């Protein structure tokens, strides 16, 4: 931690932080950005992790957004990597996980400065890092589906909401707030899109040199290549709404490929084939609608120009309605006089306005429906805890002709600039003064008077006057201008006669023309056209765009009223979030890579207030937090204040800082702790993470212990049922069960061997050191590993562990045990058997029993006897394939010390081994767990042999479900024995068992089983 606090801050060309500039001036900032721009370093910090600047390169930079680059920013602090949009995305996600408070990233800048691209990269990073944190497969699958929809939503919204402008080839002509919804664990559970003010005037009046919305050109290109032939579309120059701008192609944009991407996005989001076709029909209808022209019909008003008959027929075809009804409604409007409705003929110019209003209305409603479907498809799939919002909204615009669209767009940017100033400059400086922190005030451009000029009601502002005139029956654009000139007294407003007015925005002076403002603000579609779309259209999708609503005497809200309401709701939403900023800068107006116009950049540096922001960040404090919040979050770092503190919260906070060797670089306010350097916060967070990991490890340990105890208690009951009074109990049944006693993951060789066998460390159910008795009675130490599917013996050296033998568990036929409390168990497999001695015999039995039941859906056969028959392969250099039958006998020896089990080879026969068991593990051992006194009621009487148990496992049993002659193991009839993939040997028919031996003479000198070592001359693991 101390090392992190003493890191020397690098130069600007390394970290790209303007706070480190020696010359903090607008020229110094412009020069610093230019030097980085020339090196393709387009991102720069203002205070590491605080505000990110991006200068649009107008080209693709190699590996800038590659998957490898994305990974380098995951789980990294902002200062650990060069500045990048991924760094601020990581910070937003990290803050969400740590505080569980809503986050937002505000992407702002001029049109063409790169806002849309940065917003896409933010979503790309956040969805990727959130998906990588999902652990459960089901959760990961759901999260991945939502992630895909969030990313594809960009494609769909760009096709229908973006267009080429003079300044930007892919300009967003609507505002968008994309909110990614998370559960408490940081997994994506949903998404939500809010759209703002689609520039629908572009549908009918695209400007010269620009394009209409991308989707129109995509459809025309697709139809020219034989797709969607039923739409009957030609090339873009066939349609007046597209021909008007004179621009049909965009360099580096393939409309056909973009169309296919759009279709795929619609499929992913849930559009049906009929809905897609219907949506495309709406677009085709709009294009043909623009080709409908009108002629003067005298007293009849107007009529359809005969040259437009084909266009009208196509519109009727696409809208699925009668052509005659369409013709009538395009040339008439419904009016109401004294409660009675009349059809009024329209003059040609009025019919054109009505036609254009219909085209804009169709497109606007279709766009709103797309957003609605997007939200339905991304609806939260789990408990929503918090969110990250990414705001991509139109940039500040200044054109030769600016109308109501630009007024609304620039008003929106004024509101965002006001929020930026409030959160980064005004609030910060006010907080220092309030908390008694020494501070020299930094002056900045305050745009609040401009915001009031546009939106205020008292004194009346521009939008309020526009709404007032919009309801006046005889109002005109000229009367609106007269009222503005008379009532508005604001130094940022300059009237220019009755045709124009100028507003002095924070980004520069913009002159707006009055012409058309009232009509655009009313934005009302003739009533008869609305009713036509509700009743005469035979397409359910198109009908759904115009739902029937109950009649109301209230006038519908104007466009300005709706937009102002949306902006206020947006500001309320953003003010509830922890804000992060990406401020984009446009280096030239020609959209040329490598061109950096210093004067243009300086203008943006000025009106964005970047110099003031750098000064405040450099002189200010990166972190400020209420004492109570600081203490609550970091108290675990100091034993002196953990857990309840001393009662003096200010002193406790200082103690916490001192505990990680922070003795300077902070100030104590009246109610808050102020920390100057971000690295101090990072050190606090890293130390807290490390401490939480320790705490988590302790909690996990306690939990695992509780699980083990619970499992042990359950096992006591299960084991008593399993052994059913057939075996005396002591030792292993009282041990806590842990499974992996070898810590297998620490052995590279063992892990590798398992991986090569198709297993994983996570598959291990049991692992421990055991004694394996080979066919000559030699005790060999082995590592026994039981996985979900197989049974392994490894060599005993953990560093060089190698598989000596193995068998799949579906080849296990059963187990045999003595009636005594010894540690021996015999495992019967299809080809040969194993004799194993382990103090954890009970756990081995229970693990194998559970796995057997899971794999074969039947109970593991268990035999209890003091004389057990088992099979081995023949010996010799070439290992004879003949099967040899052997015996192991168990008897009580009252002369042995307690707990001292001895094992010998019987003298009288070469294929019999003897295990002598002391009294405390024989007659004095309880039969059941609840026995308070010894009992002799066992399968074999103490001091003598029971009748030998014939080895029923010498051949695989018939799998007939336990019927007569079937072995009784509950497998499916006729299924045959499971094949052993681990051995090429096939079990032979066992020879007749040897007769039971006579009582043995005095045993040969015994060796204790735990003293036997490996016999290198007979390392027989095929036994």
Q: Check residue 638 and report its DSSP letter.
A: -
DSSP 988-1012: PPPPPPPPPPPPP-SPPPPEEGGG-
What is the spatial distance between Cα 12 and Cα 1021, in angstroms, rounded to a whole number?
67
pLDDT in tens, 329-347: 999 998 877 777 888 999 9
What is the spatial distance between Cα 7 and Cα 618, in angstroms, rounded to a whole number?
17
For residue 140, the model assigns a pLDDT of 57
CA proximity to 231, closest of 305, 319, 356: 319
What is the spatial distance between Cα 83 and Cα 665, in angstroms, rounded to a whole number?
24
DSSP strands (E only) in 444-507:
493-496, 500-505
The answer, yes or no, to whether residue 960 has pLDDT greater than 70, is no
The answer, yes or no, to whether residue 807 has pLDDT greater than 80, is yes
Mean pLDDT of the 907-915 span: 77
What is residue 665's three-state secondary structure? Answer: coil
For residue 912, the model assigns a pLDDT of 86
User: How wide is the angle at C-alpha 894 spanned by C-alphas 892 and 897, nearest 5°?
Assistant: 105
The answer, yes or no, to whether residue 981 has pLDDT greater than 70, is no
The answer, yes or no, to whether residue 318 has pLDDT greater than 80, is yes
Identify the burial level of 657 via C-beta atoms within 10 angstroms of its C-beta, where 0-12 means exposed, 13-18 middle and 19 or more buried: buried
As a dihedral over the C-alpha atoms of residue 789, residue 791, residue 797, residue 802, rounded to 10 degrees, the angle is -70
Residue that has been written with the tokens 């080895």 in this structure: 951
Mean pLDDT of the 900-905 span: 81
pLDDT in tens, 229-271: 999 999 999 999 999 999 999 988 999 999 999 999 999 999 9
For residue 614, the model assigns a pLDDT of 86
Top pLDDT among 981 and 512 is at 512
Q: 4-13, 352-361, 416-425, 740-749 — which one is most confidently predicted on average? A: 352-361
For residue 1005, the model assigns a pLDDT of 38
The answer, yes or no, to whether residue 962 has pLDDT greater than 60, is no
pLDDT band for position 731 (cuts 50, 70, 90): low
Mention every residue, 6+ apart, whose C-beta is less than 8 A from residue 106. 391, 416, 419, 420, 574, 579, 580, 581, 582
pLDDT in tens, 49-67: 889 999 999 999 999 999 9
For residue 994, the model assigns a pLDDT of 38
Identify any residues that bridge with 864 across adjacent strands, giving them in sequence order: 817
- Burial code (b: 16+ CB inside 10 Å, e: under 16) for 701-739 equals eeeeeeeeeebbeebbeebbebbebbbbbbbbbeeebbb
The answer, yes or no, to whether residue 734 has pLDDT greater than 60, is no
pLDDT in tens, 705-723: 788 777 667 766 776 677 7
pLDDT in tens, 664-694: 888 888 998 888 777 788 788 888 888 888 8
Share of the chain above pLDDT 90, in %: 51
- The rounded Cα 516 to chain-centroid distance in angstroms is 46
The answer, yes or no, to whether residue 948 has pLDDT greater than 50, is no
What is residue 553's three-state secondary structure? Answer: coil
Top pLDDT among 92 and 421 is at 92
For residue 876, the model assigns a pLDDT of 52
What is the spatial distance between Cα 566 and Cα 176, in angstroms, rounded to a whole number?
11
Catalytic residues: 111-112, 116, 168, 171-172, 395, 397
pLDDT in tens, 87-127: 999 999 999 998 899 999 999 988 889 999 999 999 999 99
CA proximity to 361, closest of 562, 539, 200: 200
């Amino acid at each position: 931690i101390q090392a992190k606090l003493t890191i020397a801050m690098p130069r600007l060309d390394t970290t790209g932080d303007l706070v480190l500039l020696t010359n903090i001036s607008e020229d110094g900032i412009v020069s610093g950005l230019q030097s980085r721009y020339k090196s393709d370093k387009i991102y720069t910090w203002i205070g590491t992790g605080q505000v990110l600047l991006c200068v649009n390169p107008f080209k693709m930079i190699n590996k800038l957004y590659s998957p490898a680059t994305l990974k380098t920013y995951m789980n990294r602090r902002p200062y650990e990597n060069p500045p990048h949009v991924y760094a601020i995305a990581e910070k937003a996600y990290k803050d969400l996980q740590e505080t569980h408070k809503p986050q937002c990233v505000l992407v702002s800048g001029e049109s063409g400065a790169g806002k849309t691209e940065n917003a896409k990269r933010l979503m790309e990073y956040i969805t990727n890092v959130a998906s990588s944190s999902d652990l459960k497969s089901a959760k990961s699958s759901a999260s991945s589906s939502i992630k895909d929809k969030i990313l594809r939503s960009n494609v769909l919204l760009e096709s229908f909401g973006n267009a080429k402008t003079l300044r930007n080839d892919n300009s967003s002509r609507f505002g968008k707030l994309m909110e990614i919804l998370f559960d408490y664990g940081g997994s994506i559970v949903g998404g939500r899109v809010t759209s703002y003010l689609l520039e629908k005037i572009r549908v009918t009046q695209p400007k010269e040199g620009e394009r209409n919305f991308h989707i129109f050109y995509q459809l025309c290109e697709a139809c020219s290549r034989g797709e969607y032939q039923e739409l009957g579309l030609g090339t873009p120059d066939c349609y007046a709404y597209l021909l008007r701008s004179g621009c049909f192609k965009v360099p580096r944009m393939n409309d056909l490929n973009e169309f296919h991407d759009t279709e795929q996005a619609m499929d992913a989001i849930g559009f049906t084939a009929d809905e897609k076709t219907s949506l495309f029909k709406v677009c085709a209808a709009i294009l043909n609608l623009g080709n409908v022209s009108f002629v003067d019909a005298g007293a009849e008003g107007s009529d359809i120009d005969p040259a437009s008959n084909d266009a009208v027929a196509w519109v009727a075809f696409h809208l699925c309605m009668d052509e005659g009804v369409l013709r009538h409604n395009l040339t008439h409007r419904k009016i109401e006089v004294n409660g009675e409705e009349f059809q009024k003929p329209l003059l040609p110019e009025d019919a054109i306005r009505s036609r254009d209003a219909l085209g804009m209305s169709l497109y606007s409603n279709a766009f709103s429906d797309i957003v609605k479907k997007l939200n339905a498809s991304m609806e939260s799939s789990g408990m929503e805890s918090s969110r990250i919002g990414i705001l991509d909204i139109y940039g500040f615009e200044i054109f030769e002709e600016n109308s109501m669209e630009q007024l609304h767009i620039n008003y929106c940017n004024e509101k965002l600039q006001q929020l930026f100033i409030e959160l980064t400059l005004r609030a910060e400086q006010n907080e220092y003064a309030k908390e008694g922190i020494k501070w020299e005030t930094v002056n900045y451009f305050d745009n609040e008077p401009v915001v009031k000029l546009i939106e205020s009601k008292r004194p009346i502002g521009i939008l309020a006057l526009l709404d007032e005139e919009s309801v006046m029956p005889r109002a005109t654009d000229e009367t609106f201008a007269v009222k503005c000139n008379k009532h508005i007294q604001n130094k940022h407003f300059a009237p220019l006669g009755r045709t124009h007015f100028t507003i002095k925005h924070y980004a520069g002076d913009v002159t707006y023309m009055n012409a058309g403002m009232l009509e655009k603000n009313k934005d009302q579609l003739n009533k008869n056209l609305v009713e036509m779309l509700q009743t005469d259209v035979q397409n359910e999708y198109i009908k759904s765009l115009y739902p029937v609503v109950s009649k109301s005497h209230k006038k519908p809200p104007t466009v300005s009223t709706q937009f102002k309401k949306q902006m206020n709701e947006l500001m309320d939403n953003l003010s509830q979030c922890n804000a992060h900023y990406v401020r984009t800068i446009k280096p030239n107006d020609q959209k040329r890579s490598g061109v950096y116009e210093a004067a243009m950049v300086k203008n943006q540096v000025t009106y964005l207030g970047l110099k003031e922001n750098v000064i405040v960040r450099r002189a200010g404090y990166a972190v400020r937090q209420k004492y109570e919040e600081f203490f609550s979050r970091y108290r675990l770092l100091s034993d002196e204040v953990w857990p309840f503190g001393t009662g003096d919260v200010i002193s406790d906070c200082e103690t916490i800082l001192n505990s990680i060797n922070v003795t300077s670089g902070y100030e104590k306010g009246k109610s808050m702790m102020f920390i100057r350097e971000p690295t101090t916060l990072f050190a606090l967070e890293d130390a807290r993470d490390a401490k939480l990991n320790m705490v988590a490890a302790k909690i996990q340990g306690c939990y695992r212990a509780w699980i083990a105890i619970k499992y042990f208690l359950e096992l006591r009951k299960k084991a008593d049922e399993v052994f059913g009074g057939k075996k005396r109990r002591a030792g292993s049944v009282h041990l806590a069960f842990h499974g992996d006693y070898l810590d297998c993951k620490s052995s590279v060789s063992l892990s590798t061997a398992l991986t090569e066998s198709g297993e994983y460390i996570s598959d291990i159910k049991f692992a421990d050191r055991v004694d394996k008795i080979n066919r000559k009675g030699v005790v060999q130490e082995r590592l026994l590993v039981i996985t979900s599917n197989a049974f392994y013996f490894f060599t005993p050296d953990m560093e060089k562990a190698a598989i000596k033998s193995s068998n799949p568990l579906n080849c296990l036929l059963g187990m045999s045990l003595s009636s005594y409390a010894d540690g021996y168990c015999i495992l019967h497999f299809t080809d040969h058997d194993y004799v194993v001695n382990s103090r954890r015999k009970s756990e081995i039995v229970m693990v194998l029993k559970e796995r057997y039941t899971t794999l074969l859906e039947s109970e593991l056969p268990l035999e209890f006897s003091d004389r057990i028959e088992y099979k081995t392969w023949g010996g010799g250099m070439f290992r004879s394939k003949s099967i040899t039958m052997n015996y192991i006998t168990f008897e009580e020896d009252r002369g042995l010390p307690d707990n001292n089990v001895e094992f010998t080879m019987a003298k009288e026969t070469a294929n019999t081994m003897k295990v002598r068991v002391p009294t405390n593990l024989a007659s004095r051992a309880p039969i059941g767990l609840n026995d308070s006194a010894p009992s002799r009621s066992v399968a074999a009487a103490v001091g003598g042999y029971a009748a030998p148990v014939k080895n029923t496992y010498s051949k695989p049993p018939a799998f007939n479900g336990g019927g007569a002659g079937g072995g009784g193991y509950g497998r499916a009839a006729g299924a045959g024995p499971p094949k052993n993939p681990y051995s090429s040997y096939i079990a032979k028919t066992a020879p007749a068992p040897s007769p039971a031996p006579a009582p043995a003479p005095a045993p040969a000198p015994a060796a204790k089983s735990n003293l036997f070592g490996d016999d290198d001359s007979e390392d027989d693991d095929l036994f």
